[in-house]
Chain A
Amino acid sequence: MPGAAVPAEREPGTGHHSSVVFADDQEWAAHLCAFVRDGLARDEEIKYFADTTDPGRVLRTLGDAGIDAVAAERRGQLSVSTAAQTYLAGTGFDPDAMIGLWYDAVEESAARGYAGLRAIGEMSWGARDIPGADRLLEYELRIHQEVFERLPLTAWCFYDRRLLPDDRVDVLVGAHPANRGGPVGRPVLRVTPLTDRPGLRLSGSAGYDTREAVAAAAAAVRGMPTARVELDLAGLRHLDTASLATLAAAVADRPAGPPLGVRHAPPPLRRLLDLFPEFGSAVEVLDR
């Protein structure tokens, strides 16, 4: 893990990785200004990674709200860049590389004496045909455990409803421990990081139609840096064999350790484990 020497400097919580859903410029501006104002007050470094928004407009919007963004930018506390110039500048989106970049950025921020790092990322590129964009959900699911539980980092992921389809927004927002924006619909399958232990909560209905979300969940399970990983399936009504096989195969790819612990196993999972005892080496029902 790059920069793993950086210690966690505060209690982990649910508010450090939030989604922010908005549908017009006023909502966007309100969230932006609140975030930056709070960061300046806390003496934190602030980074804005734009996608479609002109960086100059970000600074003007802050200035119009009475925030001295120009001065903050001049002294290096605030930076506005684009995803295309930064983390998407290479061959596309790579969750592993991105996680490494967060460690580097937090380390640099601490070296410059800031109390922490906070960042806004416009995520609308996730709807475009960018290599690796299909791994965005995997990334959102992974970073709670791999980044936010370990670093003094606050990040708001901006989801603009005008630029992303509703069903995709619903799924992606579900991957955040908190949503500070407008209401979102309930996706067919919602995957959310557990906040009290390493693991995921799956709710809704998992089938062939949700295989991409299941694959992202499996990738998150595969990457979790702890020996024990759990799934909370209390809200899962349906689970098909292919989804279970995807999750079980991810466990097989992990370093040797205990099987994936499942709490509140729904009836279809129990039935599938009866039919296919082979899954038992990868998945263990904890509350039989």
Chain B
Amino acid sequence: MTTDSLMNDHADRLAPFFHPALFYATEDEYLDGVGGFVRGALDEGQDVLVAVPGARLKLLKEFFDGEHERVMWVDMTDAGRNPGRILSMLQEFADRPGRDARPVSIVGEPIWVGRTPAESWEATRHEALINLAFEGRGLSILCPYDTALPEEVLAQAYRTHPVVGDSAAYRASARYTDPREVCRDCDVPLPEPRDAVVLAFGREDLARVRDEADHWATAAGLSPERRTDWLLAIGEATSNSVRHGGGQGRLRLWRADGELVAEISDRGRLADPLTGRRRPDPYAPTGGRGVWIMHQLCDLVEIRSSAQGLVLRLHMSVK
């Protein structure tokens, strides 16, 4: 049982912040590595959040013989479909009121086989931001990586995790990289759409833009329920352009492979990469409320912040 070998790294577990990547190839390795991590945390009386893809969730639940009262089980393919909203969930779990002073442990598997390259880049950005968000905090976040994932995805895991390993042992990652540098590297060029509807807007055009985005999405087959999310997200993004992005912006709308995409670009910038990654005070007009809402409502949010301005691509599945 390799749980013991994991627990031999007791010193690491008690480090202020423990954020290992665990590479696994088989279900047994998964259960050894992840199951052992959860078991160890429970043995120490910790609360545990397990956010992994549904099939893995089922495996772990069976391993623990059903629900464990100190474990919160979350299907990451749903809660973390948009990688940009995972960090908010993790911080909410770590900070939830009424929790005793004991550290918490989290299993977060943000990338699985089948993730698109765009999703994987944003998930890698999320992994890097974990290091910024929890710097100096006493908690452990284990991130399992399926070795069947593309090489370039696995390579990024070595850059975003201070510690890497398998079900046998962990070691410091020699390739660990400053999170801000990783975020910059995640800003890969966005592919240009072929047929986009283009709407330039200023303050006076916001209502027209909302209505046109509504009509366009209706014609494109988006369900009424998802259209509500789509319009709330676009409304937040376009009003941010007017408020923070130089007073105007450009909205482009297009269809792509089973999804709708809205791109909002302006002359603003996202100074803090953690903007929108923590549940905001709903009454506070600043503090990332708009970006947080976009992350909650969309299936994917791609962010590109540069000296030229800010580009947000909001993706919404039509399936």
Whether A205 contacts B210 by the Cβ 8 Å rule is yes
B181 near A: Cβ within 8 Å? no
Task: Tell me whether B282 and A238 are in contact (CB under 8 A).
Answer: no
> A237-B214, A245-B285, A268-B232 known; 5 other A-B pairs, CB under 8 Å?
A204-B207, A208-B203, A238-B214, A241-B293, A276-B282
With A240-B232, A241-B293, A268-B228: A207-B206 Cβ-Cβ less than 8 Å = yes
Contact A271 B228 (CB under 8 A): yes
Contact A241 B206 (CB under 8 A): no
Question: CB-CB < 8 A to A204: which residues of B?
Answer: 207
Residue in A closest to B228 when the chains form the complex, CB atoms: A267
Our pick among B225, B235, B285 for the contact of A267 (Cβ within 8 Å) is B225
Assembled-state Cα–Cα distance A110/B269 (Å): 63
**Which A-chain residue is minimally distant from B239 (CB atoms)?**
A208
Please state if B203 and A209 are interface contacts (CB–CB under 8 Å): yes
Query: By the criterion CB–CB under 8 Å, are A210 and B207 in contact?
Result: yes
Tell me the nearest residue of chain B to A204, going by C-beta: B207
Q: Is A272 an interface residue (CB 8 A)?
A: yes
Q: Is A178 at the interface (CB under 8 A from chain B)?
A: no
The B-contacting residues of A in range 238-288, CB under 8 angstroms, are 238, 240-242, 245, 248-249, 267-268, 271-272, 275-276, 278-279
* Partner of B232 from A205, A272, A278 at Cβ < 8 Å: A272
Contact A207 B283 (CB under 8 A): no
A207-B210, A279-B282 known; A238 vs B235 contact (CB < 8 Å): yes
Contact of A278 with B207 in the complex, beta carbons under 8 Å? no
What are the residues of chain B within 8 A of A238 when measuring CB–CB?
207, 210, 214, 231, 235
User: Given known contacts A241-B293, A275-B296, is B211 in contact with A205 (CB within 8 Å)?
Assistant: yes
Q: Does B150 contact A (CB under 8 A)?
A: no
Closest-CB distance, B209 to chain A (whole angstroms): 9
In whole angstroms, what is the CA distance A245 to B285 when docked?
9
Q: A208-B243, A209-B206, A240-B239 are in contact. Are A278 and B282 (CB under 8 A)?
A: yes
A and B contact pairs by CB, cutoff 8 A, 18 listed: A205-B210, A205-B211, A207-B206, A207-B235, A208-B206, A209-B204, A209-B242, A238-B235, A240-B235, A241-B282, A241-B289, A241-B290, A242-B285, A249-B283, A267-B225, A267-B228, A268-B228, A278-B283
| The 10 nearest A-B residue pairs measured at CB | A208-B239, A276-B282, A209-B206, A267-B228, A188-B207, A205-B207, A240-B235, A245-B283, A278-B282, A207-B206
User: Whole-angstrom distance from the CB of A188 to the nearest CB of chain B?
Assistant: 4
Chain A residues closer than 8 Å to B224, beta-carbon distance: 267
Known contacts A209-B206, A238-B235, A275 near B228 by CB under 8 Å: no
Tell me whether A207 and B229 are in contact (CB under 8 A).
Answer: no
> B187 an interface residue at 8 Å Cβ cutoff?
no
Q: Which residues of B contact A248 (CB under 8 A)?
A: 283
Tell me the minimal C-beta distance from B80 to chain A in angstroms.
17
Min C-beta distance of B21 to chain A, whole Å: 31
In the assembled complex, the Cα of A276 lies from the Cα of B297 at a distance in Å of: 13
In Å, the complex CA distance between A50 and B211 comes to 40
A238 and B282 CA atoms in complex are apart in Å by 18
Q: Are B242's CB and A208's CB within 8 A?
A: yes
A276-B289 Cα distance, complex, nearest whole Å: 11
Contacting residues, chain A, for B206 (C-beta < 8 A): 207-209
B293 lies within 8 A of A275 (CB): yes
Shortest distance from the beta carbon of B317 to any chain A beta carbon, whole Å: 17
Q: Cβ of B259 < 8 Å from any Cβ of A?
A: no
Query: Min CB distance, B245 to chain A, in Å?
Result: 12
A window 196-242: CB within 8 A of B: 204-205, 207-210, 237-238, 240-242
Report B138-182 residues with CB < 8 Å from chain A CB. none
CA distance A204 to B235 in the complex (A): 14
Contacts of A240 in B (CB 8 A): 232, 235-236, 239
Residue numbers in B under 8 Å from A279 (CB-CB): 282
Contact B232 A207 (CB under 8 A): no
Q: How far is the CB of A96 from chain B (nearest CB, A)?
A: 24
Residues in A neighbouring B293, C-beta threshold 8 A: 241, 275
How far, in angstroms, from A267 to B210 measured CA to CA in the complex? 15
A207-B239 contact, Cβ under 8 Å, with A267-B224, A271-B228, A271-B232 = yes
| CA gap between A207 and B237 in the complex, in Å | 11
List the B side residues contacting A272 at CB < 8 Å.
Answer: 232
- In the bound assembly, the distance between CA atoms of A105 and B121 in angstroms comes to 69
* B192 shortest CB reach to chain A, Å: 29
CA distance A271 to B297 in the complex (A): 10
Contact of B282 with A268 in the complex, beta carbons under 8 Å: no
What's the Cα separation between A249 and B204 when bound, in Å?
Answer: 26
In the complex, what distance in Å separates the CA atom of A245 from the CA atom of B283?
A: 5
- Which of chain B's residues have a CB closer than 8 A to the CB of A205? 207, 210-211
- In the docked arrangement, what's the CA distance between A210 and B239, Å? 11
